[in-house]
Homo-oligomer: A and B are copies of this chain.
Amino acid sequence: MNDLLPSWNDGAAKSRILDFVARATKPGGPDFVPPAERIATFDNDGTLWCEHPLQVQGFFLIDRVKELAAKDPGMAGRQPFKALLEHDLKTLHGLGRQALMELGFATHAGVTDEAFDTIASNWLATARHPKFARLFKTCTYRPQVELLDYLRRHAFKTYIVSGGGADFIRAVAEEAYGIPREQVIGSSVKLRFDAQNGRAGLMKLSELNSFDDRDVKPQNIALHIGRRPVLAFGNSDGDLAMLRYTTTGPGARLALLLHHDDDSREAAYDREFRLSPLAEALDKADEYGITVVSMKRDWNAVFADAGE
């Protein structure tokens, strides 16, 4: 048999995936899912690419503050930028949620969506992960890229549903995962439509539109897709609502949760990781019918390429 998931070790997780796809795609079978209904939603950070010790977008934010500070000398003396540039995390956290929002807006707004796409694309083309010694855009997980491809071969439509910024992920999703921009759902800022000098465009504003985490994930799935997924994959408590939303319903359903338990190849963390804790989802996985995937046990490869 031609194994379409070569980076997945034989075991319960792989069996459940293969069984689910077989049932969902068997014409006339009791669990057959028509192709139009084959919606699969994936969290991004920590599910499709690494997020530890800091999300890729966090590294982007830091580099972008440095870049902006180089053009605006006063910035390095102002909070919250000062604390960030001085790696003073204690002060930064003490400044609270509003300060973090301000960092987000300063680095992700005040430009058009198309200008931001260029900024993010340029950064992703060259920026490297300090721990894994590879381009950030290759910090994707090989077993997941295989799974996305496997699902698409069976007429599933694959979506990203991420707490990260949709516009940031769109700059890399096609290349990294084969997922087109319109199948990326994520956090977003409000936009302003401008039509001046015969040119119309959209300015990214310093105002949150949607923070796509927890309950907001199923809400945004309904808003954007208008169908309940039949497969969902996450890795933190922020994905639990999406996973439960997916398991509710008739027929074949599959909810998966990646557990980062592989300190030698990537990282081992769960409930203590304050940026994206995994606790409730892990504790209640059995009760909610969620399949836990162990990076250490279920994957024979981690990253999508060999790195450098």
Contact = CB atoms under 8 A, between A and B. Distances in A.
How large, as a class, is the contact surface on chain A? 35 or more
A36 B180 contact: yes
A202 B245 CA distance: 9
Given A215-B193, A227-B182, A222 B241 contact: no
Contact of A241 (B114, B182, B195, B225): B195
B181 A202 contact: no
A199 B198 CA distance: 51
A133 interface: no
A224 B224 contact: yes
Contacts of A224: 182, 224
A128 interface: no
Interface in A70-129: 113-114
Contacts of A234: none
A191 interface: yes
Copies of this chain in the oligomer = 2
A218 interface: yes
A294 interface: no
Contacts of A219: 190-193, 202
Contact of A222 (B180, B202, B247): B202
A152 to B, nearest CB: 15
B248 A199 contact: yes
A137 interface: no
Interface stretch (A57-65, A166-174, A298-306): A166-174
A184 interface: yes
A170 B200 contact: no
Enumerate the 5 nearest inter-chain pairs by beta-carbon distance, A residue then B residue, closest first. A181-B226, A193-B215, A200-B244, A191-B219, A200-B248
Given A166-B223, A170-B226, A182-B226, 10 more contacts: A182-B227, A184-B226, A192-B215, A192-B219, A195-B244, A200-B241, A200-B244, A200-B245, A202-B219, A224-B224
Interface of A: 36, 39, 113-114, 157, 166-167, 170, 174, 180-182, 184, 188, 190-193, 195, 198-202, 209, 215, 218-219, 222-228, 241, 244-245, 247-248
